[in-house]
Amino acid sequence: MKQYGESKVDSSLVLAIGAIIIGLIFIVSGAIVSGIAYTEITPPNYDDNYDRYIGSSVPRLLGPFLLVFGLFIVVGSGVMAGLKTMRENGKAYHGIAQPTMYSAADIDQDDSPPSHEEKV
């Protein structure tokens, strides 16, 4: 018997796909931020202080961090989705893919409990 809100789509698969999409957004934004930070045009009065200023720029730290973090999310989500699929395939192979759930309405009760009058 199908419960309310139950669907054929596995929630862990939806979460894995959502995490992969978020990871790809992180990768694209990290590439854009890195591209902007590392293609800065040097001014005509270029000196050593300018090198120190450019090296401490937040986008130069944020861009690579977003790239690595996005890659970590994409790879981790892919591994988790793969492990989930392997586990489900193993359950199907051993014949335990669908757990049997019984409700009280499905059980035939031949002997009803004694009423108060029968006890007296």
* Tens-place pLDDT, residues 44-82: 666 666 666 666 678 888 999 999 999 999 999 989 888
Domain membership of residue 83 (yes or no) is yes
Looking at the structure of the chain, the number of domains it has is 1
Domain hosting 69: range is 11-96
In the three-class reduction of DSSP (H, G, I as helix; E, B as strand; rest coil), residue 65 is classed as helix
pLDDT for 83-97, tens place per residue? 888 887 776 666 655
Give the pLDDT confidence score for residue 100 in this predicted structure.
57
Higher pLDDT, 54 or 33: 33
> How confident is the prediction for the chain on average, in pLDDT?
76
User: Considering the domain boundaries, does residue 118 fall inside one?
Assistant: no
Domain-embedded: residue 59? yes
CB 23 within 8 Å of CB 71 = yes
